[in-house]
């Protein structure tokens, strides 16, 4: 049994989601190899070789792999797939984009968003926005999986000493091309990796008001998040969205401010260790999952909280 | 240009589902069913393409039980010209649906297939990508903006950390994200008109597709419940509890 983990990276830096995915591969058992497909990504391959528990790194380096286009990346994975019993992608925008393409070409089912490994062929995954957990068994010869990163603790980024092996890059499919990228700038910790997340909802009232969360996030060293309502209202950028259709987070502390707690939002944060809710509506569903609830006007409570910290 | 839009009948997103006590699945008997919200966005986008003159015909398709006809009628009330149902009572997993859709694409020869990014019941997020793979077509998933010109489509996608834009050679597959558009309300006259539109029926056997499930669901359980929390009277108590009781700050 050998597992192939598809590395998530930006051609310069390996992304943390890769470490959680390696952790899932280690739970399955057997050797863990990592595929780094990119352009000028030698440094990423070297970082991948350091990951604890990884025994080999495959590096496919070519310009047509620079932007993670699904058509090229899927072909690259398929080019090396025959040696593996399990192919694991992090359940990120990129992993979700490419994994099903690989599975369909291999004519196997894919198991999405696994949160636990019960056996090498049996996995747990949430369905219905996290309102139920399904345990599924795959009879396919190759298991293609996407791994919900918050379901597995990251392995150590250091301590490994895997060999880096270059593999031939696949040709450009010519079917799609990359035009450009608009990256939302942030000095704060990455939302999915942060230990503390402070999130605002529709109750914030405006994009201007959303800024009152800044000093709180600064004091706590927290990432900022938002509910879908806040994002749709234009109060916060869409990559801050926590929920079934946004990011799934599981920090040590999640502070929900002015968020009612719709099912779609709860699906994205209810695995947080400690949840704090501040809302002026005592009936808000968010209080049903909060460890500590405070019924108060957020425009008074948040500044008070900042000065009390 | 013909556009194909697959739609799925799912438990309405407002329904809080309950797990069956024998752990065989969730209880969906007698609960309200609706069109998957992402698919509504897909139908709306296809209809807008037609209104702009970029598309000539919009065909809605669905796979599943006989009641999926209602979902197709809704799609036709939004703006689809006709519908096709692949009827079966069998459990359909994404790979099987992708194969059924491929057979329909081979029949209908659309230039564009617009799907929802995921269904809110199985949360798989696979079918569009699988269909693209089976057809050997390019794909743009999680689309928040779509422009079609000539033989290519330019799509802005929602990715981690922001947005990215790609161009695809047609024919192509696009899956919708929430922000692509705001689906219109269906009006009564349009519901009446939709009843008269053509709806073809197929079975998986007609299309020569084996839909046997590849994944076996061993059990479905409730997620672990969170223990009941406490309400605190003021900010000072909250900070004290976080520091000394929860020890998270």
Chain A residues whose CB is inside 8 A of the B239 CB are 305, 308-309
Structure tokens at A212: 């009152």
In a domain, B244, yes or no: no
Point out the residue among B137, B141, B226 whose CB comes nearest to the CB of A270.
B226
| Residue B246 belongs to some domain of the structure | no
B210 touches chain A (CB under 8 A): no
- Per-residue tokens: A281: 């509506």
Q: Does residue B63 sit within a domain?
A: yes
Q: In chain B, whose CA is at the least distance from the CA of A114? A: B124
pLDDT of residue B89: 96
pLDDT tens, position by position, A200-248: 999 999 999 999 999 999 999 999 999 999 999 999 988 899 998 889 9
Read off the pLDDT band of A192 (50, 70, 90). confident
Q: Is there a domain that residue B238 lies in?
A: no
Which of A72-76, A101-105, A253-257, B25-29 has the weakest average pLDDT?
A: B25-29
Q: How confident is the model at residue A172 (pLDDT cuts 50, 70, 90)?
A: very high
Architecture of domain A2-166: 3-Layer(aba) Sandwich (3.40)
B31 touches chain A (CB under 8 A): no
Across A256-273, average pLDDT: 94
Element (H, E) at A217: helix A213-220
- Assess B98–A contact: CB distance below 8 Å, yes or no: yes
Which residues in chain B show pLDDT less than 50?
Answer: none
pLDDT band at A97 (very low <50, low <70, confident <90, very high): very high
State the Cα–Cα distance between residues B54 and B109, nearest whole angstrom.
16
Contact with chain A for residue B229, Cβ under 8 A: yes
* Domain span holding position B51: 2-223
Q: Could you give the number of structural domains in chain B?
A: 1
Q: Taking all residues of chain A, what is their mean pLDDT, rounded to a whole number?
A: 96
**Is the pLDDT reported for residue A71 higher than 90?**
yes
Summarize the confidence of residues A120-125 as an average pLDDT.
98
Q: What is the pLDDT of residue B53?
A: 96
Distance, CA of B203 to chain centre: 21
Closest CA to A74 of A65, A62, A85: A65
Instruction: Indicate the residue of A112, A130, A139 with minimum beta-carbon distance to B126.
Output: A112
Q: Do A238 and B138 touch (CB under 8 A)?
A: no
- CATH code at B51? 3.40.50.620
Give the residue among A193, A152, A133 at the shortest CA–CA distance from A32. A152
Looking at CATH, the fold of the domain delimited by A191-308 is given as: Rossmann fold (3.40.50)
Tell me what pLDDT residue A153 has: 93
Domain spans, chain A: 2-166, 191-308
Residue A184 pLDDT greater than 80, yes or no? no
Residue A8, preceding bond cis, omega within 30 degrees? no
**Helix or strand holding residue B148 (H, E):** strand B139-149
Residues in Cβ contact with A211 at an 8 Å cutoff, skipping those fewer than 6 apart: none
């Amino acid at each position: 049994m050998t597992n192939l983990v598809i590395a998530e990276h930006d051609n310069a830096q390996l992304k943390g989601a890769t470490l959680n995915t390696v952790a899932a591969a280690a739970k399955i058992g057997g050797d863990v190899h990592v595929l780094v497909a990119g352009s000028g990504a030698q440094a990423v391959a070297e970082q991948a070789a350091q990951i604890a528990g990884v025994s080999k790194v495959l590096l496919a380096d070519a310009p047509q792999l620079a932007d993670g286009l699904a058509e090229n990346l899927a072909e690259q994975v398929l080019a090396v797939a025959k040696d593996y019993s399990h192919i694991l992608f992090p359940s990120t925008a990129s992993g979700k984009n490419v994994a099903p393409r690989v599975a369909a070409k291999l004519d196997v089912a894919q198991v999405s968003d696994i949160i636990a490994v019960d056996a090498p062929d049996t996995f747990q995954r949430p369905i219905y926005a996290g309102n139920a957990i399904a345990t599924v068994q795959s009879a396919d010869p190759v298991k293609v999986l996407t791994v919900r990163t918050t379901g597995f603790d990251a392995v150590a980024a250091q301590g490994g000493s895997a060999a880096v092996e270059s593999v031939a890059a696949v040709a450009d499919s010519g079917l799609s091309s990359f035009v450009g990228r608009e990256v939302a700038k942030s000095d704060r910790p990455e939302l999915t990796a942060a230990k503390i997340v402070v999130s605002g909802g529709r109750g914030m009232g405006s994009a201007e008001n959303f800024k009152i969360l800044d000093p709180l996030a600064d004091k706590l060293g927290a990432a900022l998040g938002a509910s879908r309502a806040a994002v749709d209202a234009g109060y916060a950028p869409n990559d801050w969205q926590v929920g079934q259709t946004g990011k799934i987070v599981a920090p040590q502390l999640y502070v929900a401010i002015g968020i009612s707690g719709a099912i779609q939002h709860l699906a994205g944060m209810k695995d947080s260790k400690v949840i704090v809710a501040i809302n002026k509506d005592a009936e808000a569903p968010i209080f049903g999952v909060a460890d500590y609830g405070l019924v108060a006007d957020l425009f008074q409570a948040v500044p008070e909280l900042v000065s009390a910290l | 240009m013909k556009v194909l839009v697959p739609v799925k009948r799912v438990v309405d997103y407002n329904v809080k589902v309950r797990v069956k006590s024998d752990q065989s699945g969730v209880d969906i008997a007698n609960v309200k069913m609706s069109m998957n919200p992402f698919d509504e966005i897909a139908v709306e986008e296809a209809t807008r393409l037609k209104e702009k003159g970029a598309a000539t015909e919009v065909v809605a398709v669905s796979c599943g039980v006989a009641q999926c006809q209602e979902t197709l009628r809704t799609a036709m009330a939004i703006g689809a010209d006709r519908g096709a149902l692949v009827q079966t009572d069998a459990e359909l997993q994404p790979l099987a649906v992708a194969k059924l859709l491929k057979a329909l694409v081979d029949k209908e020869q659309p230039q564009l297939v617009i799907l929802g990014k995921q269904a809110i019941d199985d949360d798989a997020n696979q079918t569009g990508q699988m269909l693209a793979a089976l057809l050997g077509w390019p794909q743009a998933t999680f689309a928040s903006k779509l422009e079609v010109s000539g033989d290519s489509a330019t799509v802005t996608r929602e990715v981690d950390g922001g947005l990215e834009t790609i161009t695809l050679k047609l024919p192509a597959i696009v899956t919708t994200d929430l922000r692509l558009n705001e689906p219109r309300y269906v009006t009564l006259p349009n519901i009446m008109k939709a009843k008269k539109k053509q709806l073809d029926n197929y079975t998986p056997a007609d299309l020569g597709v084996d839909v046997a499930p590849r994944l076996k669901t061993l059990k479905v359980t409730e997620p672990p419940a969170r223990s009941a929390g406490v309400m605190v009277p003021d900010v000072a108590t909250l900070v004290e509890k976080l520091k000394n009781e929860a020890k998270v700050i």
